[in-house]
A and B are shown apart, each in its own frame.
Chain A
Amino acid sequence: MTAGGGAMERIPILQMGEFLLVTIQVDLNDTLAQTLMDDLTAKVAATGARGVLIDISSVTVVDSFIGRMLNDIAATSRVLDATTVVVGMQPAVAITLVELGLSLGGVRTALNVDRGIALLRAALAAPADATHPE
């Protein structure tokens, strides 16, 4: 972000073939979370991406707000025919989420980016997707 704060802070979204990759490396404030959600939705629609990978390996807290954001991203992407995989959740975060009572029910998870990509590839190749001509 530039000094003076005029420029809007954003989390970059990278395109990797038919997938989008987001790496969250900052403590997300609400504005940044909302911007990310809007940007991702727009990018899925614009690119026709079939998968979204969200790398949260640097994220040290997932509270109910951020959890809801992840669920909302997955739900919106699904409507746009893209599968969302959240990768790299730290064990302490996972333990805390369970106790908080938050289920990331609508979100697939994988241990790391490589496994996340494998999961997306498998999802795309699965028979359920045979109805989508490619």
Chain B
Amino acid sequence: MPPIRSEVLELRATPDIVHVRQTVRARAAEMGFTLVDQTKLVTAASELARNAITYGGGGRVRIEALEEDTRRGLRLTFEDQGAGIANVEQALTDGYTTGNGLGLGLGGARRLVNEFSIHSRVGEGTRVTITRWM
């Protein structure tokens, strides 16, 4: 089913992370997500936006409100054309980092949402899609 609302935000530099958090918060609140669910989605978005900027050299996120017969949700798709991830399983492991982070972003984001998928190709970039249903 096509999304009922869709928008794209650019991810160029770290101040854009705040913008993503605020926009996702506003959309989730408008849809009526509980405060806890809003916070989980916003936190996951913050992690993935930061990864796209830090490791992906920047990119964009598409924010889509979904409405199906029996449920509504918010889907976020983060995309970058950066170096990609050679070993996705390893990248998803808590504590694994090639930067100076805690290595929690990807694994943590996966735990904070209902659906998580990641596609990455070395030299081409990374796309992470997360969905949280109400």
Contacts and interface: CB of A to CB of B under 8 A. Distances in A.
Interface in A78-107: 90-93, 95-96, 99-102
A56 to B, nearest CB: 13
Contact of A67 (B17, B25, B102, B111): B102
Interface in B1-54: 14-15, 17-18, 21-22, 25, 35-36, 38-40, 42-43, 46-47, 50
Contacts of A100: 43, 47, 104, 108, 111-112
Interface stretch (A16-24, A47-55, A57-65): A57-65
Contacts of B107: 101
Interface stretch (A26-34, A36-44, A110-118, A126-134): A26-34
Contact of B94 (A29, A30, A101): A101
Contact of B18 (A29, A93, A96, A99): A29
Contacts of A29: 14-15, 17-18
Contacts of A92: 35-36, 38-39
Contacts of B46: 61, 63, 65
Interface of B: 14-15, 17-18, 21-22, 25, 35-36, 38-40, 42-43, 46-47, 50, 94, 101-102, 104-105, 107-108, 111-112
Interface of A: 27-31, 60-65, 67-68, 90-93, 95-96, 99-102
10 contacts: A60-B25, A91-B36, A92-B35, A92-B39, A93-B39, A96-B36, A96-B39, A96-B40, A99-B40, A100-B43
